[in-house]
Amino acid sequence: MDKIVTIELFGQNHSFKADDNVYDAGEIVALLTREVASVNEQLSDNKKKMNNIAILTLAALNITSEYIKLRRHHADSVEKISERSDSLVNMIDMHLQ
């Protein structure tokens, strides 16, 4: 059964249906809300005015950038673990012979 997720952005509530397979819709909403607030704060410090679509786009780009960094870090970690595992298996094999 789908669930309804509500997010408040720019003073307006937006509701969406989220599939049951969405792991934690509340955490996703919180992340986007925080990132939009952060972008708004950065822009207000610089006295720049941007429309809501531009702010949402910057927030999405920031989140995507962080996701890509984490994905690369994960891939590097998996590769290192695989290499170390192979090395340990080889050492064990050598000692068992």
| pTM, two decimal places | 0.76
For the stretch 3-62, pLDDT in tens is: 888 999 999 999 988 887 777 888 889 999 999 999 988 887 666 678 899 999 999 999
- Rounded to whole angstroms, the Cα distance separating 61 from 55 reads 10
For the stretch 51-79, pLDDT in tens is: 899 999 999 999 999 999 999 999 999 99
pLDDT, position 97: 82
Give the structural domain span for 41.
3-96
Q: Count of domains in the chain? A: 1
Q: What is residue 3's three-state secondary structure?
A: strand
- Helices (H) then strands (E): counts for the chain: 2, 2
- Rounded to whole angstroms, the Cα distance separating 85 from 50 reads 51
